[in-house]
Amino acid sequence: MLKQKSLFIAAVLVVSALLTGCSQSDTNSTGNTEAVEVIHGYTLPPEPDKIINNSTLLGIDSNNNGVRDDVEIWILKKYKDKHPIYTEIAMQTGRAWQKVLEDPNNASETSKLLDAAQDCEFYFQFDAKQFGDPILVGEFIFDRAYERIVVNTQARKVAYKTYDASFSGGITTLPIISEEKDSCDFNVTRFVEFQK
């Protein structure tokens, strides 16, 4: 009887966790169990110590996914109630910004990463319909608010100015609209097929 009760309780807990789909429990190094929030498939990283995070150019990226933790937290919280593609595009943009700050003197290459993120966004905001895909984005993701979150210390501002100055007098080209979708660095099929 006790065994059946335990199995029933375990089944209820599993079903409950599956239905909520937004939190898990994790045991930290001290043995304490704490809730871990998952948003659109991304586990919310721990809030970084602000002083440590802002004491270096690249900050803290505890999960090594190429996006600084404070930026990732901002992205996940900002877009948690939006279509998941917002999160994917914003994370792609975050990875691009990290490369810009990491190597501001290599703007000719790192700018391609920012351009790709923006092209991906534009495809799903403006151009997808003419290629038989759904419009999934209704507002700008890559905007000044995003830039302020990323470029938030003096060292990061200097790196960005170095990056930006290297474009003085340069010429850039716009992508072919039919190639914008290919600029996304994530699997767009799961979003497009689901919406059709």
Residue entry with tokens 């010429």: 171
Global model pTM greater than 0.75: yes
Angle at 120 between CA 118 and CA 126, to 5 degrees: 90
| Per-residue 3-state assignment (H helix, E strand, C coil) for 62-119 | CCCCCCCHHHHHHHHHHCCCCCHHHHHHHHHHHHHHHHHHHCHHHHHHHHHHHHHHHH
- The identity of residue 97, as a single letter, is W
Q: From residue 143, how far is each of 4, 29, 64, 87 by CA, in Å?
A: 55, 38, 24, 14
Residue ranges per domain, the chain? 1-39, 42-195
The per-residue pLDDT string of the chain (196 residues; one tens digit each, 9 = 90 and over) reads 444 444 334 443 333 333 334 444 444 444 555 678 999 999 999 999 999 999 999 999 999 999 999 999 999 999 999 999 999 999 999 999 999 999 999 998 999 999 999 999 999 999 999 999 999 999 999 999 999 999 999 999 999 999 999 877 667 777 889 899 999 999 999 888 766 5
